[in-house]
Structure 1
Amino acid sequence: MTPDLMEEGARRAQALLAAKPQGKTESGGRAAGFSRPVVHGEVDVAHGRILYLEDVSVSFDGFKAINNLSLDIAPGELRCIIGPNGAGKTTMMDIITGKTRPDAGTVFFGSTIDLLRYKEAEIAGMGIGRKFQKPTVFEQLTVFENLELALKTDKGVKASMFFRLDSGESDRLAEILQTIHLADAVDRLAGTLSHGQKQWLEIGMLLMQDPKLLLLDEPVAGMTDEETARTAELFLTLKGQHSLMVVEHDMSFIKTISEKVTVLHEGSVLAEGTLEQVQNDERVIEVYLGR
């Protein structure tokens, strides 16, 4: 992308941002001006589940990392996953995204898409976005350029050479810049951002691909208290528009964003319910929270 085109795009994004409603955060954490109905594209959610795992198991060298795991997530739900190290949280995400194939079980995206029939890249293209703990952004490019690269467009050489944002794409980019708290950093190099800002930028890059489901692995690790609070606000804004699975150890953060919490232990669901319910569960106290 040439500097002139980048500057033109940045100016357009800033102008669009100036016209967006700012508003205060409404009840439930959704920012005013961004409330819209849940849309899940071609994913059939007729049975009220965007993700469904049943009796999933996988072993590595005789160790059962996932053991008859069953859970489901509703469209627009924000589900928090907690548990001790080695509980199977990362392996579960690996299975959902096609990185690891289970030995047994069922994994469905919506009501009709059997994820075990597809490869990792195909699953990503279906609308499942994954964010790892360490942010991965293009540090030598600007915030604007990172988001532009993440657009769901033809990535061929010829198409890339002549690519220009249309008005709808510009609107989408402007909206995401505001959502991820980087509206004032549109022309900054990603490498100059703070750790938390890089995390938000990577989430923004996922959002540019219009995912139906976001898998977020320890998203606030290493963040300042202020960044953690703004990340909670961000997730509550995304809830309802996207389905989110958040794996995290920060219980204060979980308390801020959670409605339903799933506790994993030894590859299975140990407990499920509100944070208060699982915190008072004797089994959870014994294996994870302590007294």
Structure 2
Amino acid sequence: MNLIQSLAQRDRVFDFLVPVQSPVDVRHGPILYLEDVSVSFDGFKAIDNLNLTIDDGELRCIIGPNGAGKTTMMDIITGKTRPDSGRVWFGSRHDLLTMNEPEIASLGIGRKFQKPTVFEALSVFENLELAMSADKRVLPTLTARMNGEIRSRIDEVLEMTGLVELRQRLAGILSHGQKQWLEIGMLLMQRPRLLLVDEPVAGMTEQEMERTAALLTGLAGKQSVVVVEHDMGFVRSIARQVTVLHQGSVLAEGSMDQVQNDPRVIEVYLGESEEAA
């Protein structure tokens, strides 16, 4: 194989950024649907007959004590963990249990882990440019020039994340909160339909928490956003619909006021959280 042929081959590192051709169909139901999902690890049932639906454009908060199954649930949605039983659908066309992690990401499901992962030696702008959803074959990447559409998208994401004035700053010297916003911005460059965000305000200052709340609530309606968080003050500031997980299944669901006053939730989670605080 000569050099040109080698360069023309798809760069497998960036396959997860290439959008699939089949759109997500939400005309007949929610954007995300989990039915009777269960998974065990060495005899421990991490997810137990879990049923959950997320509507298109919805902002949903997921809370629950440690070991409730929140991380495992996200692992199942993104293809990292295969359940023992159940169904997981993205729209009405895509059975996520038949797909691997890159295929699921390419559908438009983005996941933000608790610890931010950015390219610290690159600028904020370069991080967003690298994350853009585009043709990532090696040869086009080497020869293509930045076009107006891509610049406009980067400018839009910089504005959304509050990083306009930091566009040329190296990611490695950003504050913890700024790195969190940059990673969210990198996911937004790919125009996800569903964004899974794990404990976004852990380690943040009060001011950073307020800006993060504004960012996530601003995304609702444009993307479906699922936020897993332990900080009840932050959840109260953004919650529209709250799901409480306990022992791998849904314990309660509703508005923050509804779940906050549910005796079962108080017993297994909120009461303990307030005593610890």
Unaligned runs of 5+ in 1: 1-40
Task: Report how far residue 258 of structure 1 moved.
Answer: 0.7
Partner of 2:18: none
1:272 and 2:253 equivalent?
yes
- Structure 1 stretches of at least 4 aligned residues deviating more than 6 Å after TM superposition: none
Hey, what's the Cα distance between the residues in 1 that align with 2:45 and 2:184?
Answer: 31
Unaligned runs of 5+ in 2: 1-21, 273-277
1:192 and 2:173 equivalent?
yes
Deviations, residues 10-62 of structure 1 (Å, cap 9, x unaligned): xxxxxxxxxxxxxxxxxxxxxxxxxxxxxxx8100012300000000000000
1:107 and 2:88 equivalent?
yes
Q: After alignment, is 98-107 or 153-162 more displaced?
A: 153-162
Q: Which amino acid aligns with 1:129?
A: G
1:211 and 2:192 equivalent?
yes
1:241 and 2:222 equivalent?
yes
Question: Could you say what the CA RMSD is over the residues aligned between the two structures, in angstroms?
Answer: 0.9
Hey, what's the Cα distance between the residues in 1 that align with 2:118 and 2:238?
Answer: 25
Q: Which amino acid aligns with 2:49?
A: N
Equivalent residue in structure 1 for 2:208, among 204, 217, 227: 227
Partner of 1:201: 182
Deviations, residues 195-234 of structure 1 (Å, cap 9, x unaligned): 0000000000000001000000001101110000000000
Task: Report how far residue 169 of structure 1 moved.
Answer: 1.2
Partner of 1:49: 30
Hey, what's the Cα distance between the residues in 2 that align with 1:237 and 1:78?
Answer: 10
Q: After alignment, is 184-193 or 43-52 more displaced?
A: 43-52
Q: After alignment, is 166-175 or 202-211 more displaced?
A: 166-175
Q: Which amino acid aligns with 1:250?
A: D
Which SS does the other structure have where 2:120 is aligned? coil
Task: Report how far residue 152 of structure 1 moved.
Answer: 1.1
> Identical aligned pairs, as a percentage?
68
Hey, what's the Cα distance between the residues in 1 that align with 2:129 and 2:145?
Answer: 10
What aligned pairs does 1:146-157 form with structure 2 within 5 A after superposition? 146-157=127-138
Hey, what's the Cα distance between the residues in 1 that align with 2:161 and 2:43?
Answer: 42
Aligned length, in residue pairs:
251
Which SS does the other structure have where 2:141 is aligned? helix
What aligned pairs does 1:66-215 form with structure 2 within 5 A after superposition? 66-215=47-196
Deviations, residues 169-199 of structure 1 (Å, cap 9, x unaligned): 1111100000000000000000010000000
Q: State the TM-score, normalizing by the size of structure 1.
A: 0.85
Q: Which amino acid aligns with 1:46?
A: R
1:286 and 2:267 equivalent?
yes
Hey, what's the Cα distance between the residues in 1 that align with 2:213 and 2:239?
Answer: 10
Which SS does the other structure have where 2:251 is aligned? strand
Q: State the TM-score, normalizing by the size of structure 2.
A: 0.89
Q: Which amino acid aligns with 2:24?
A: V
